[in-house]
Amino acid sequence: MKENTYSSFQSASDANFELLKQLYGNSEKFKLIKPNRINSVYDGIITTKKNDKDYCIMIEVKLRQFSMDVLINDYKKDFFLEKDKCLYLRKSAEEFAKVPGRVMKIWYLCMTSDKNVFIFDITDNDYTWIPQHMNAVSYSKYQKKIQKYVALLNIDDADYSFKIK
């Protein structure tokens, strides 16, 4: 049986948006918007107004399949951000920023399996990109080998962190 890639992508996207609904759905400060899934890499948008400016925050969610203990002990408290994804998010934000008076932000939200949440503002940080050797292989005999690059995001540098009960 052939796996339906789009379906699995959509299921992950729906789960990510459900988390955003849990965090921001009932907020009086933020309005949560579900993105159109065609060519969007982000999982949700929250909008707010501050100091007479409209803020639009694109959020990419990564639900990690490991616990906080594993993150600390095995990964040295580092998540990784793929360079291609970061650049695509920034390009998408440029389109939204064309509205006069709108301030764009990009958040990268990571959650461990035991519901520890870390949010990084990746809007315009200048990262050091390093090769991610584990992804240096191709998953298809028709694809070229592509070396992906990542930035390490340490949890001590997160802009926001909390645990969901």
HEC sequence for the chain: CCCCHHHHHHHHHHHHHHHHHHHHCCCCCCEEECCCCCCCCCCEEEEEEECCEEEEEEEEEEECCCCHHHHHHCCCCEEEEEHHHHHHHHHHHHHHCCCCCEEEEEEEEEECCCCEEEEEECCCCCCCCEECHHHCCCCCCCCCCCCCEEEEEEHHHCCEEEECC
Residues 46-75: tens digit of each pLDDT: 999 988 889 999 999 999 999 999 999 999
- Does the pLDDT value for residue 147 go beyond 50? yes
Domains of the chain, with CATH numbers?
5-163 (3.40.1350.10)
- Does the pLDDT value for residue 8 go beyond 70? no
Q: Which of 37-41, 142-146, 148-152 has the lowest mean pLDDT?
A: 142-146
Residue 159 binned pLDDT confidence (cut-offs 50, 70, 90): very high
Return the higher-pLDDT residue of 8 and 161. Answer: 161
